[in-house]
Amino acid sequence: MKKLLCSTLALCTALSTVLTGCGSSGSGKNGEVIVYNWGEYIDPETIDMFEEETGIKVVYDEFETNEIMYPKVEAGATAYDVICPSDYMIQKMIDNDLLAEINFDNIPNIKNIGTQYFEQSKEFDPENKYSVPYCFGTVGILYNKTMVEEPIDSWSVLWDEKYADNILMQDSVRDAFMVALKLNGFSMNTLDEGELEIAKNTLIKQKPLVQAYVIDQVRDKMIGGEAAIGVIYSGEAIYTQRENPDLEYVIPKEGTNVWIDSWVIPKNAPNKENAEAFINFMCREDIALMNFEYITYSTPNTAAQNLIEDDDIRNSKIAFPHLNQYEHLETFHYLGAEGDELYNNLWKEVKSE
């Protein structure tokens, strides 16, 4: 998931279904569904509507990162029914036999999800048996048209010396290496040590030009004109353009990361049919629209996209790019413990130079 992590307390307070003890039997006439999701990643009103329409009580819990979520699910101390991990973590959960196959007969609203998103999901769920896309986005370049002379279409601009001290890079090992790997024509999921060494040296060469390695701060810095160019997530780019019309977002021609967060059902889910009812409800076009408007991250629900009243948003190539029009798009894969260690060690070398 790519978004600002807001206070989870605010959401829990807003929800009428505050977590009161996962694993309880529930008081709803049709039982309960235990949901584990990112903070600020659902419209609380949709929870109320689901409860009212189905009689199923929602017990709601939140996590801040995939890495916090995973060991809790793996340990099984709390048996969740529905979880919303990111692409590479879904792959890890499938590889470790933690997920149940979804009965799509119980999710007729799956018809609202665009086929291009299921095609992209095959990178981490090859047979589309375990996951239903909930939100998606891309990583690209945001630039200030008053500070950049030429139209941008390539990651190479991040190595242009005339923008020295005006470049913002993501302070994230996988995102930073994604940029360098794509620039050199490699897969962002490579484990080839030769390719990774080239990417490392490319990042080291860039380092003197970088104003700052940031995460969420790229948004405010770009809005305030504190930098000319920044690497940013598409959901953040939509917000920045509302605040500063001089900003432009582009998906580089060398390709980029398409991330997808999806609903999944753990193998030990105590209420699997209720979980499928919950996912089906979230796939309903009006509910998907409510969630999109609340969290502002792109919905793969094409029926919901068609309901967006704002023409600029509905037709936005940032919010809803046609993925088949771009080349070399990938989602992050789980690379295993050895792969994580390899990337982390190389990133330490970059940061220490």
Which residue ranges in the chain fall short of pLDDT 70? 1-29
Domain extent, residue 159, equals 138-257+325-352
At 215 the pLDDT is 86
Same domain, 185 and 278: no
| Dist CA 223 CA 241 (whole Å) | 8
Same domain, 51 and 154: no
Residue 198: give its domain's CATH number. 3.40.190.10
Same domain, 189 and 274: no
CB proximity list for 51: less than 8 A, separation 6 or greater: 16, 17, 28, 57, 58
Phi-psi region of 268 (alpha: psi -120 to 50; beta: other; left: phi over 0): alpha
Does the residue 277 lie in any domain?
A: yes
At 4 the pLDDT is 43
User: For residue range 299-311, what is the model confidence (pLDDT) as tens digits?
Assistant: 999 999 999 999 9
Same domain, 217 and 343: yes
Token reading at 106: 């119980």
Does the residue 1 lie in any domain?
A: no
Phi, psi of 113 (to 5 degrees): -85, 130
Does the residue 198 lie in any domain?
A: yes
| Model confidence, pTM | 0.87
Same domain, 65 and 90: yes
- The three-class DSSP label of residue 40 is coil
At 1 the pLDDT is 53
Same domain, 114 and 145: no
At 27 the pLDDT is 38
Q: How many domains, the chain?
A: 2
C-beta atoms surrounding 309 within 10 Å: 8
| Dist CA 306 CA 314 (whole Å) | 7
